[in-house]
Amino acid sequence: PSCGRIRLRASARAEAEPKRGQVILRSAFGELLPKEVLTRPKQGFEVPLKPLFLGPLAGLLDNLLTETSVREAGLEWNAVQNVRRRLQSRSPGGAQATLHALAVFMAWWKTRKP
């Protein structure tokens, strides 16, 4: 119970003071991480969507983005096909993010369709 309270207090303090959260994490895990990890600037975490969508999740996209369901959802079939083609190109741009959004939308839409 006391560990939970300490964690909650540290978490609440970190939310109130974002820089403080970094200090807490660095002090808690600093000795476990290489110095270059601790001193590098903050960076985001990118999910490798392109290899996933072209590999293990390709079937999921095929099932979610059928011509019939895309049209029933009120989306333009040609536009969806263009995004899928862009994903396979050498310069996919934002195709990964667009396909992710489409997949989430279509999964939601299929549970809500009349």
pTM value is 0.61
3-class SS at 43? coil
The confidence score (pLDDT) of residue 1 equals 45
Q: Which residue has the tokens 């029933």?
A: 72
Express each pLDDT in 4-17 by its tens digit: 454 555 555 555 55
Express each pLDDT in 19-68 by its tens digit: 666 777 778 877 888 888 778 887 777 788 999 999 999 999 999 999 99
* Structure-token pair, residue 16: 């109130």
